[in-house]
């Protein structure tokens, strides 16, 4: 009888021991990677920027205040769909959170961004992703070309000085943006967020946009000039939101 009890005890120890080892392995295997994505205005590097280290105008490098150094990102111009691969040079340069990055004139030129309104989308790309595996050689080639190719400079033409048939047909694109606070699963939670914004700030133009049955987006705006947009963005900083985005209204 004693032998049976001892045998059951040994089997129990082995069973629970194995169970613990399996759970440890599962814990080690599970790695959650948070993917960064942000739409907003970039700050174009210029020699006159104060306390910002020089960055080569011909490079495909950017400054970012959240992503770590050497992170690989995809930058897209939402207006024309053009995109390129860039690398974060540093995250230690201090600049306003209103801008999602500092980019070079080469990036502005390649993506055909509006120099006065450089609106971009940035997506962090995992280094072990298949996308990076396919694009690494292309990025290295683009980097070498960018370093050697000259920058002629980007000129802003005053359309008021020269008027012809072509310029008459051109219409200035309307400035209209909203600030995306966050997306919520429940409408009730989205309403609570609006209450918090109105209670803790002087901002009143918040609204809820229903994207689906289980996705409710809290927005602030619309804003028709960059000055008001930036002022409202700065006021929201006191609420310590993790990743505010600026969305262009279509």
The pLDDT value given to residue 150? 54
64 within a domain of the structure (yes/no): yes
- Domain containing 204 equals 177-248
The pLDDT value given to residue 164? 42
68 within a domain of the structure (yes/no): yes
**What average pLDDT does this structure show over 62-72?**
92
Question: What's the chain's average pLDDT?
Answer: 78
Whether residue 183 contacts residue 219, with contact meaning beta carbons closer than 8 Å, is answered with no
Instruction: Dump the DSSP string for 33-64.
Output: -PPPEEEEEEEEP-TT-TT-----TTS-EEE-
**222 and 139 in one domain?**
no
The pLDDT value given to residue 40? 94
CATH number of the domain where residue 239 is located: 3.30.70.1070
59 within a domain of the structure (yes/no): yes
Helix (H) or strand (E) holding 154: none
The pLDDT value given to residue 26? 37
What gap in Å lies between CA 33 and CA 53, rounded to an integer?
Answer: 30
User: Which pLDDT tens digit goes with each residue over 70-92?
Assistant: 999 999 999 999 999 999 999 99
Is residue 143 scored above 60 in pLDDT? no
**What average pLDDT does this structure show over 129-152?**
54
Give 200 or 135, the one with higher predicted confidence.
Answer: 200
**236 and 143 in one domain?**
no
The pLDDT value given to residue 147? 55
Is residue 137 scored above 80 in pLDDT? no
Least confident range from 52-56, 60-64, 156-160: namely 156-160
Enter the DSSP assignment of 117: B
C-alpha angle 109-114-117 in degrees, rounded to nearest 5: 135
The pLDDT value given to residue 103? 95
Is residue 23 scored above 90 in pLDDT? no
**188 and 100 in one domain?**
no
19 within a domain of the structure (yes/no): no
**111 and 74 in one domain?**
yes
Looking at the whole model, is its pTM more than 0.85? Answer: no
Residues with Cβ < 8 Å from 138, sequence gap 6 or more? 85
Residues with Cβ < 8 Å from 74, sequence gap 6 or more? 83, 84, 85, 86, 122, 123, 125, 131
Split at pLDDT 50, 70, 90, the class of 183 is very high
Is residue 158 scored above 50 in pLDDT? no
Split at pLDDT 50, 70, 90, the class of 48 is confident
239 within a domain of the structure (yes/no): yes
**135 and 198 in one domain?**
no
As for how many domains the chain has, the answer is 2
């Amino acid at each position: 009888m004693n032998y049976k009890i001892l045998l059951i005890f040994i089997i129990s120890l082995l069973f629970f021991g194995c169970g613990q080892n399996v759970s440890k392995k599962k814990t080690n295997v599970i790695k959650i990677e948070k993917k960064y994505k942000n739409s907003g205005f970039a700050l174009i590097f210029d020699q006159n920027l104060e306390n910002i280290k020089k960055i080569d105008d011909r490079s495909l490098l950017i400054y970012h205040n959240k992503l770590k150094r050497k992170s690989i990102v995809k930058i897209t111009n939402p207006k024309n769909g053009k995109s390129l691969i860039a690398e974060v040079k540093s995250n230690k340069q201090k600049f306003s959170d209103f801008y999602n990055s500092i980019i070079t004139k080469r990036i502005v030129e390649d993506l055909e961004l509006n120099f006065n309104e450089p609106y971009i989308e940035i997506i962090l790309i995992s280094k072990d992703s298949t996308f990076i595996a396919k694009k690494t050689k292309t990025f290295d080639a683009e980097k070498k070309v960018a370093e050697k190719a000259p920058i002629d400079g980007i000129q802003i033409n005053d359309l008021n000085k020269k008027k012809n048939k072509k310029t008459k047909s051109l219409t200035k694109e309307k400035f209209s943006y909203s600030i995306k606070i966050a997306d919520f699963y429940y409408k009730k939670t989205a309403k609570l967020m609006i209450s918090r914004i109105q209670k803790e700030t002087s901002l009143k133009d918040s609204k809820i946009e229903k994207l689906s049955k289980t996705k409710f987006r809290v927005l602030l705006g619309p804003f028709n000039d960059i000055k008001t947009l930036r002022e409202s963005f700065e006021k929201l900083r006191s609420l310590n939101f993790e990743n505010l985005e600026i969305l262009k209204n279509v």
